[in-house]
Amino acid sequence: MFSRLERDSVDYDWGPIDNIFVAPYVPLSLISHCSEEFEICHASRGPATMAWITWDNNTRWYYWDVYNHEVVTAGRDKLSFNRWYVSAFTDSREYRTIRPGNSAPRLVRCDSATYFQRFGTRYPKACIFAETIPHLTYDLVSDYTDVSLHIWRAQNDPNDTYPMLAPDGVPWPRDKSIPGKFFPGNNTAPALHRITQELHPTLVQANSDHKNGACYGLPPYGHMYQLTGLPVPPKTPEEQCDEYPFASTLEGAGHPDPENPDFNFSVEAVKQHDNSVAGGKLIAYYVDDRILAWDAGLDQPFEVNDKFYVNIRG
């Protein structure tokens, strides 16, 4: 983590003489600490110490490395949480009566997941700032516009998407509710959770089977979508069947139960090129934002597992 003082932000209130000759030369130290015990976390490097007048004219960043330890972890990916903060104090014996100050503690989540890699390079250990709201942004004006428009419709007009909840002319039992829309500042909205072929083969297969049933009428679930799926299948090879939520999420087309699906998903024919580019962005996003795969073995899995959202930017 990095810290610095905002340039030209210091004011002195020690009296007219001391404001000039004393206060600017009082030493100030910054250092990073962990809120938890050393068995869980520690921060490296000593304090950065300068006089107030030097800090006030200095734009340099000072950094500390914060480490979580694998001794106290949870779940398949060895999750560990800690909070770090910056402490500001004076280490001059003459001015030790000056009250030290601490920044608000910030939450960090570290893991030892083994399935993150890109271009042949593996990333088996990493940490993220856990207070952010993870979200993937797709642009409407892009080289994957078909996919962006599909997701926008699924998030904002789910009743206008396929598969329908009932055939034409038959009253719908309810409205469709498709999760994953990003609302700035809201981390309680229905979210998406990542799954992988290696860790969740049954869930991934169910998502694929239901998608193919709703798009192409293919078995084993094509009969379920005979009157409610896409009226015209995608024209291959120039088109593909795009599904939202993504096939790589717990909330995909097969969720929650292949025998009693909720139909809270959408399928649409999109250009093959658009689908390929958008899929590449999703794969890169999982690595860049370190989205961990679903771990059903965690205590309170929906509270602890990583979740993410999709933001469609106009």
pLDDT digits (tens, 9 = 90+) for 141-151: 999 999 999 99
User: What is the pLDDT at residue 171?
Assistant: 95
Give the tens place of pLDDT for each residue, 216-248: 999 999 999 999 999 999 999 999 999 999 999
3-state SS record for 18-36: HHHHCHHHCEEEEEEEECC
User: What is the pLDDT at residue 75?
Assistant: 96
Give the three-class secondary structure for 313: strand
User: What is the pLDDT at residue 259?
Assistant: 53
CB of 33 within 8 A of CB of 43?
A: yes
CB of 209 within 8 A of CB of 160?
A: no
50, β-bridge pairs: 28
Q: What is the pTM of this model?
A: 0.90
Gap between the Cα atoms of 26 and 9, Å rounded: 16
Amino acid at 35: S
What confidence tier does 256 reach under pLDDT thresholds 50, 70, 90?
Answer: low
Mean pLDDT of 57-82: 93
Residue 97 has pLDDT above 80, yes or no: no
- CA gyration radius for the chain? 26
Q: Quote the percentage of the chain above a pLDDT of 70.
A: 96
Gap between the Cα atoms of 251 and 191, Å rounded: 9
Residue 261 has pLDDT above 70, yes or no: no
User: What is the pLDDT at residue 260?
Assistant: 53
Rounded to 5 degrees, what are φ and ψ at 224?
-70, -25
Gap between the Cα atoms of 132 and 137, Å rounded: 14
Give the tens place of pLDDT for each residue, 271-288: 999 999 999 999 999 999
Q: Cβ contacts of residue 158 below 8 Å, gap of 6+? A: 175, 176, 177, 178, 264, 266
Mean pLDDT of 11-29: 93
Gap between the Cα atoms of 223 and 259, Å rounded: 12
Tokens at 104, concatenated = 């608000």
CB of 188 within 8 A of CB of 170?
A: no
CB atoms within 10 A of CB 32: 22
CB of 214 within 8 A of CB of 251?
A: no
Give the three-class secondary structure for 93: helix
